[in-house]
Structures are given as structure tokens and as C-alpha cells.
């Protein structure tokens, strides 16, 4: 069993990642922490609670709200790609189960400290503000982290929010610099790999035939992503960004990459938020570059079929 904490900013693709993780019998999700990113902080916290209930879970899996803004830069959001609610404006009832009273940063610290001796996997699918705060406040929590599996950054693919920068890093590059520079073992799902894993109509059909209500909702989320991606960029098949982190946890064999040390540009200018991997066999970051895209969607369907 893989013990995990998921730090996220739901967001359509974060929502699919959460549904996959909640369904995965190989993953025990200890907590969900949320951060401002795709939409503002209060909305990401509400969206995580909505997805928790779609998954059939209650407050025993805590959802904790975290940083409402980046460390230093002005806040930036991405409603063009996620809709005004962050969940593609798909109607959902208000969540019944309450938000935890524990702040996300404190939850990360407490959960990682409790995991010393049996370290957990930290899955990060949004700006890295909460994680940077936690590592700064309590650097000893590194002993409770087996690895960080994150979605963020870009190199050969260029950016998706500027010509150079990927959104999660651009939204808080100072936090990303702290996390990449922490020395923790990191597996990075950048745009270099996620842009090659697309939600084609055939792959969405693969999810629609899965016999779980959660798979049907995940398909709805991805359909909304495709529509918004087309409206914003003219691409009909949305990339599978955040769910790729969960697939990398359950099926790392589907991804290949190279070791690197990752630099983040934090100086103002046109390259602000750019990630620059310096490839080095001793680097702490495994920078993924390729994926078996059909295999990734097969695994996503399998995880969504593990409900019940």
C-alpha cells in the first residue's frame, strides 16, 4: 500500500487525478490539501470537497485549505481552462462534509512527521506554495517523504501560460524553486510528457464504458477540458496533465525520462517561471520525457473501475 498526501488546486484535471487516487486500491490517501491556483483558494477547497463526495468519501479523509496566494508574486488563475467554478461549470450540489479546521501547511507537516519510519508519497498537482511553506517551517519532514511526484514545468515543449512557463510553476515560481532545490527525490510530469498524453475521443470512450459512477464523472471532466482547451487554444484533445501523477505512482513503468537538477527562473522578465532542467545522472529529479499514452489511459480506466 502506498501512503499518499495530495496537494492540489482543483481544477478539472486535478479532479480527475483525485478520483483516480481515491479509487486506487494501491493508494491510501491520508489527506487532501488545497492551494490557490486554477481558481481562487476558497473555490479549490470547495471543489476538493465536491470530488471527495463524488468518490463516496466523507470527512474521515480530510480536506484542508491552504495558501490563498503565492509567496511573492501577484496571484494568477486559469478559469479559461477550467471554467468559472474550476470544474467546467458542471453543476454539483454543495458538499455536505465540512472542511478540516487544520491548515493545509500544518496538515502536510503533521502527516509527514507521522510518516517518519514509513515515508509517504507527496503528490503535487498545483502551485507548490503549501509544500514550500511546510519545508521551510519544518525541514525535518523530509524524513517522512519517500518522494514527491509533481505536475509542473516544461522544457522542450515551451509553456502553456507564457511561451516559456507552465502554469503551476508560473503561478508560484519562488515556491517551485524551493521545492526543486530541496534535494528531495522528485519525479516531474512536465509538459514535455503530458502534452503527449491526450484525451482523444477514443480514449474518452474507454472511460465511458467503465462501470462506476466516478468514471462517468471523470469522463465529464475530461470532456469539459477538451471543450475549454479548444476555446482557449484551438486544441480538441486536452492533455492529461494532473492525472498523470497518479498513474506515475501506480504504473511508473509507463514513463521514461532522465535525471536532472531543475532551475526555476524567478527574475522578472519574459522567462519568469521557466524551468530549466540540467541533466545530470546524480540529479534528484527524474524529469519524464515520454509516456505510453495508451497505457496511461488504460491505467486511468482501471483505477476508476476499482470503486465499489
- Dist. CA 50–CA 42, nearest whole Å: 13
- Decide if 241 is catalytic: yes
Quick one: which of 151, 104, 153 has its CA closest to 123? Answer: 151
Catalytic residue among 82, 97, 103, 241: 241
Contact status, residue 7 vs residue 125, Cβ threshold 8 Å: yes
Strands across the sheet containing 63-65 = 63-65, 27-34, 2-8, 120-124, 145-151, 186-189, 285-291, 255-264, 275-279
Backbone angles phi, psi at 255, to 5 degrees: -125, 145
Neighbours of 252 (CB within 10 A): 13
Contact status, residue 218 vs residue 19, Cβ threshold 8 Å: yes
Task: Give the active site residues.
Answer: 241
Amino acid at each position: 500500500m502506498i501512503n499518499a498526501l495530495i496537494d492540489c488546486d482543483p481544477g478539472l484535471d486535478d479532479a480527475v487525478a483525485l478520483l483516480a487516487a481515491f479509487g486506487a486500491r494501491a493508494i491510501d490517501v491520508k489527506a487532501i490539501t488545497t492551494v490557490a491556483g486554477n481558481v481562487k483558494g476558497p473555490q479549490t477547497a470547495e471543489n476538493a470537497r465536491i470530488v471527495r463526495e463524488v468518490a463516496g468519501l466523507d470527512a474521515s479523509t480530510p480536506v484542508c485549505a491552504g495558501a490563498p496566494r503565492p509567496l511573492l508574486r501577484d496571484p494568477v488563475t486559469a478559469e479559461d481552462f477550467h471554467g468559472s467554478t474550476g470544474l467546467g461549470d458542471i453543476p454539483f450540489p454543495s458538499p455536505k462534509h465540512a472542511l478540516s479546521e487544520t491548515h493545509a501547511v500544518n496538515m502536510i507537516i503533521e502527516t509527514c512527521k507521522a510518516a517518519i519510519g514509513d515515508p509517504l508519497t507527496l503528490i503535487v498537482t498545483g502551485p507548490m506554495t503549501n509544500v514550500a511553506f511546510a519545508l521551510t517551517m519544518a525541514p525535518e519532514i523530509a524524513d517522512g517523504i519517500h518522494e514527491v511526484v509533481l505536475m509542473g514545468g516544461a522544457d522542450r515543449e515551451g509553456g502553456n501560460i507564457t511561451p516559456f512557463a507552465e502554469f503551476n510553476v508560473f503561478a508560484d515560481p519562488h515556491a517551485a524553486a524551493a521545492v526543486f532545490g530541496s534535494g528531495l527525490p522528485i519525479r516531474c510530469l512536465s509538459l514535455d510528457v503530458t502534452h503527449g498524453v491526450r484525451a482523444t475521443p477514443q480514449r474518452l470512450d474507454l472511460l465511458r464504458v467503465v462501470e462506476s459512477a466516478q468514471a462517468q464523472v471523470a469522463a465529464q471532466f475530461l470532456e469539459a477540458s477538451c471543450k475549454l482547451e479548444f476555446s482557449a487554444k484551438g486544441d480538441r484533445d486536452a492533455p492529461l496533465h494532473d492525472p498523470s501523477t497518479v498513474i506515475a505512482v501506480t504504473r511508473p513503468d509507463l514513463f521514461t525520462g532522465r535525471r536532472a537538477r531543475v532551475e526555476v527562473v524567478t527574475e522578472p522578465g519574459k522567462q519568469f517561471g521557466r524551468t530549466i532542467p540540467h541533466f545530470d545522472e546524480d540529479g534528484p529529479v527524474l524529469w519524464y520525457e515520454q509516456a505510453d499514452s495508451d497505457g496511461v489511459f488504460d491505467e486511468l480506466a482501471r483505477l476508476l473501475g476499482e470503486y465499489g
